[in-house]
Amino acid sequence: MIFTDQMATKLLAQAARKLTDAINEALCASPDKRLVRAVLDQVRTDLNEFEDAYFDEDEAPPEQR
């Protein structure tokens, strides 16, 4: 595994941890929906950065093939 793939995989793990945080907050008796939305926005950003770093530019996502 090359270094950039390793770093990208760390971004994916970070996104997974944040998603777990959002799920835990959403499952609370009185969740803070603003917090859930903010965490989900962070997860989206992390996933986009992961995709940019991990996949080759000439590889189109399945929905664009």
Q: Quick: pLDDT tens for 24-64.
A: 999 999 999 999 999 999 999 999 999 998 987 656 566 66
Cα separation of the two ends of the chain? 26
Q: What are the φ/ψ torsions at residue 57 (nearest 5 degrees)?
A: -65, -30
Tell the residue number behind the tokens 């997974």, with chain if given: 16
Tell the residue number behind the tokens 């969740």, with chain if given: 31
Q: What average pLDDT does this structure show over 4-32? A: 94
pLDDT of residue 33: 96
Contacts of 7 (CB under 8 A, 6+ apart): 53
Q: Which residue has the higher pLDDT, 20 or 60?
A: 20
